[in-house]
Amino acid sequence: MKLCVPIPCFFPKGSDFCEAIDAIADLGFDTAEIYGWKDLDLSAAKAALDRRGVSLISMCTTEFRMTDPQYRDLWLAGLSESCEAAAKVGARFLISQVGPDTGAPREEQHASIVAACRAAIPILEKYEITLMLEPLNTYVDHPGYYLTTAAEAFAIVREVGHPLVRIVFDIYHQQVMEGNIIPNITKNLDCIAHLHAAGHPGRIELQYGESDYKNIFAAAERAGYTGACGLEYHPTLPPLESLALAKKLYGDA
């Protein structure tokens, strides 16, 4: 399982991106991701990535409100500019959260998300970028968020029916909400483009939580998963020490 380093999890806000890439490359990581990209010098970032042989595979869109049709044009505009930015640094995936539960009937919000994804297809095809929706937990981290279950996320992807619309399956969030991690991953690889992981409770290092990540990663690989897993946790150890240990424990899972 290829491990991916979400830069904001391990380097303080305002850290130099190029120095962060040097640091993770020195530890042997060759895959990274970021969230917001507006403050990133895209040309300098691409040069640093190329120099160290690191791929920046994932970024976030600038707008997350997909549950309410009145924000559709704003979301699409944010997607377009995010695709352009991703293309400049070679990122293949964009994460979009779907937004809050608006209080409208769930079938209406579900339909709004599907419609937004379908409207996005020409943009995604233009840049050859995969849009990844993200189910989150509402019990601990994201109260009021709409998309909480893997089942609904998979249903949305299948309704859209396009290879450039998938999900990022965050094992931590889904462990909080519903468990059933291995079957949900292995039976739905057609909908999953990327994984995220953290130890629960606490959203900390993988080895300190209740989930057996070696078994999870091994099961995903046996089922045919060939993507990466972002180490999206809050380190309790010094960040670089935590990353080095994660690579030792799970780099060849």
pLDDT in tens, 25-63: 999 999 999 999 999 999 999 999 999 999 999 999 999
pLDDT tens track, the chain, 253 positions: 899 999 999 999 889 999 999 999 999 999 999 999 999 999 999 999 999 999 999 999 999 999 999 999 999 999 999 999 999 999 999 999 999 999 999 999 999 999 999 999 999 999 999 999 999 999 999 999 999 999 999 999 999 999 999 999 999 999 999 999 999 999 999 999 999 999 999 999 999 999 999 999 999 999 999 999 999 999 999 999 999 999 999 986 5
The first and second tokens of residue 184, run together, are: 């949900």
* CA of residue 226 relative to chain centroid, distance: 15
Contact 206, 171 (CB under 8 A): no
The Cα–Cα gap between 27 and 49 comes to 15
Write the single-letter amino acid at 80.
Answer: S
The first and second tokens of residue 43, run together, are: 């040309």
Contact 194, 168 (CB under 8 A): yes
Phi, psi at 162, each rounded to 5°:
-135, 140
**Domains in the chain, start-ordered, CATH in brackets?**
2-250 (3.20.20.150)
* 209 CB-contact burial (10 Å; exposed 0-12 / middle 13-18 / buried 19+): buried
